[in-house]
Chains A and B, each alone.
Chain A
């Protein structure tokens, strides 16, 4: 019985972490992964860890690149506007 609760808590903790870890993603996506980790921890949690970079970090990277390019573009715009004012 004790091992039941231990496994239950481990699965719950991992599911919570996955939900937190996938925060840049859409809510349905996050719930689906967390739910899958909870109900089949042994299979899905390692799968998540393997795919984590692609699922999650890539999104971070994309956002960062997007953010950087936005900043770059706005700097360029600012520069252009300055030059046009001159």
Chain B
């Protein structure tokens, strides 16, 4: 509920503000943000039960805008370590560790240098989730690596602030999950070879894996070099490959951007 109120508050800014400036930005933006995740998870390899996710999330991203060539390049790294909680028992509290790495290249579709700019392109994204109960008495993981369609929109809402929104839709993905039995000789043999494990997956179609990653940011311009950010991130993944996996995350984050 808190997240809902907060994001509506943020969005209200974008509704009432009138844009006055064009989006002429410095080329490089380095952002750091910290937030709180409230999510839901079901991983049938791990458990038949429904779980909720709660905990802090951290993000760092680098954005390079090239107004002359109408290009955008972005690298983003997210990390979180959350508790997984189920109604069945307080003893079942588990740990969810997630990481996300994405590279995006997009080109500007709009010609104007005024209020609204839209970029469209694609990129690569790796999303990793590892679940651990009671020092690996039970464990599971879900990873997706692949190419996605991405778009970013910038909307100036005042001289001192603008609104950003980014969306990623994975298209060609390799999904990595534990084997049918949850474990096997290959997994045990490669426990100390993480690269082998995180790439031991199968390619999927949209029928067996669907995901959506959406970020909405309100950005306040403190100075020519510094911006403050308030963000809402929505993530949804559903895979029905080896095991059913569904995850939904809602994150509210605050951060700062250094421009150079």
A and B co-occur in one complex: no
Q: Which A residues form the contact surface with B (CB < 8 A)?
A: none
Residues of B within 8 A of A (CB): none
